[in-house]
């Protein structure tokens, strides 16, 4: 690190939301390195504050073990309420003795590293940083990078106190200001940031077993990527249903980091030698699958309705067919999908199965959503413009140091 360059730290929980949040932080850090003249360091938050990892483990358990969306929502909101009780609105400016103790490792970390700017990629982490900076007696500026605007529905993740909050959509800024009464000049709309091919760093592995030959012929039949990240057995049943009723479809199933899930999915499709099943991909497979689905008029991504997954697919011109997760911060995603005709988000498994049958029987429906996804990517997901806006927003914080 050059001593004359300003230093930015990006703190991101890795256990909150599987790899999604850390993937967003990785992309943000890389964009920031190209947008401002500063040293940018990305750090996991859990080694500094281990209790964040305990909460992340509970979120994972809630996601995997809840029997339905209603129970998942209730359990998740109960956890958020407990954390909000420990760190209520306004604690950043007047922490209690107990809060000071819980923040002590973060306070010491910032005191010893003294970054010019610290970025929290969860609103809660940014709130913790505001308090720790004050306790450490630093002039470090705090940025809240909102990777999922749905989190602003939760008091835990919103605050007027960061020096700068970056959001992807105008409605997210309006909601945050309406709830917190903050300064509009400290909230900047920069547009949605997508990972593009940075996703390969999380999805691929050199040790992954290579597939037997290329995936799918260059034909006019539908080409599906089924991505199961904390999705449960619904996606296994879906794959077996497609195998029974639509065997001519080209399909790849990714049970992320779950080899047993991939084996169970493959068990019902042994005769379909043109299908592929993975828990990890090689980089060559990752690029091949994305490229072939993108080029196909009937390429389709099937997954839970997460915002990052939806935007990534749209960036590559791939429509989505999704099942609502039941998590409160993802409730806005069906609206994003339907208002922009990016595909369909289904409220229940029966709807998912019926839509699969309809679209695979009449694939022209997929083609119409593909056209809309391409138009959305061109008008909303201009990544050069997003990077420029991020640089323009952060640079004044460095100039004022």
* Beta strands per DSSP E along 121-207: 141-145, 164-167, 187-189
Per the listing, tokens 């449960």 go with: 232
Q: Which of 281, 289, 341 is nearest to 310 (CA)?
A: 341
Q: Average model confidence (pLDDT) for the chain?
A: 89
**Strands 343-346 and 320-323, bridge-based pairing:** parallel
Instruction: Report, as an integer, the average pLDDT of 223-231.
Output: 80
Taking the CB of residue 65, how many other CB atoms lie within 10 A of it? 11
Residue range 21-31: mean pLDDT, rounded: 87
344: helix, strand or coil: strand
User: What confidence tier does 22 reach under pLDDT thresholds 50, 70, 90?
Assistant: confident
Give CA–CA dist 149/172, Å, rounded: 6
pLDDT digits (tens, 9 = 90+) for 47-70: 999 999 999 999 888 887 888 878
Task: State CA 165 to chain mean position distance.
Answer: 18
For residues 96 and 131, give the distance between their C-alpha atoms in angstroms, rounded to a whole number: 11
pLDDT for the residue numbered 204: 56
Q: What is the pTM of this model?
A: 0.86
Mean pLDDT of 229-240: 81
Per-residue pLDDT band at 290 (split at 50, 70, 90): confident
pLDDT band at 258 (very low <50, low <70, confident <90, very high): confident
Helices (H) and strands (E) in the chain, counts: 15, 12
Could you tell me the pLDDT band of residue 250, with boundaries at 50, 70 and 90?
very high
**Are 183 and 201 spatial neighbours (Cβ–Cβ below 8 Å)?**
no
Per-residue pLDDT band at 195 (split at 50, 70, 90):
confident
Contact 110, 129 (CB under 8 A): yes
């Amino acid at each position: 690190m050059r001593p004359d360059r300003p230093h930015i730290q990006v703190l991101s929980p890795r256990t909150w939301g599987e790899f999604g949040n850390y993937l967003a932080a990785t992309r943000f850090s890389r964009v920031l390195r190209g947008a401002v003249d500063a040293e940018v360091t990305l750090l996991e938050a859990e080694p500094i504050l281990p209790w964040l990892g305990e909460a992340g483990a509970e979120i994972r358990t809630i996601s995997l073990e809840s029997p339905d969306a209603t129970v998942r929502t209730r359990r998740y909101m109960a956890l958020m309420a407990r954390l909000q009780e420990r760190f209520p609105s306004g604690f950043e400016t007047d922490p209690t003795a107990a809060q000071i103790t819980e923040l002590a490792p973060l306070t010491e970390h910032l005191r010893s590293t003294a970054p010019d700017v610290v970025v929290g990629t969860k609103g809660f982490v940014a709130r913790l940083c505001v308090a720790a900076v004050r306790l450490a007696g630093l002039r470090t500026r705090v940025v809240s990078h909102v990777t999922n605007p749905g989190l602003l529905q939760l008091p835990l993740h919103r605050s007027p106190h960061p020096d700068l909050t970056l959001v992807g959509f105008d409605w997210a800024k309006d909601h945050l200001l309406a709830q917190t009464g903050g300064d509009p000049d400290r909230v900047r709309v920069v547009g949605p940031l997508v990972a593009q091919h940075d996703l390969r760093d999380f999805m691929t592995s050199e040790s992954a077993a290579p597939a037997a030959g290329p995936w799918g012929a260059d034909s006019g039949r539908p080409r599906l990527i089924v991505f199961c990240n904390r999705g449960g057995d619904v996606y296994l049943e879906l794959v077996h249903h497609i195998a029974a009723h639509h065997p001519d479809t080209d399909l790849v199933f990714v049970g992320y980091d779950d080899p047993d899930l991939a084996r169970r999915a493959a068990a019902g499709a042994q005769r379909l030698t043109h299908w592929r099943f993975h828990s990890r991909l090689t980089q060559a497979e990752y690029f091949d699958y994305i490229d072939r689905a993108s080029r196909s008029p009937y390429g389709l991504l099937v997954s839970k309705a997460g915002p990052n997954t939806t935007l990534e697919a749209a960036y590559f011109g791939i429509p989505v067919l999704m099942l609502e997760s039941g998590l409160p911060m993802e409730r806005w995603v069906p609206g994003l999908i339907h208002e922009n005709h990016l595909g369909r988000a289904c409220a229940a498994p029966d709807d998912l199965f019926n839509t699969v049958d309809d679209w695979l029987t009449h694939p022209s429906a997929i083609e119409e959503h593909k056209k809309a996804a391409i138009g959305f990517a061109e008008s909303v997901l201009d990544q050069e413009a997003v990077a420029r806006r991020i640089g323009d927003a952060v640079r004044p914080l460095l100039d004022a140091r």
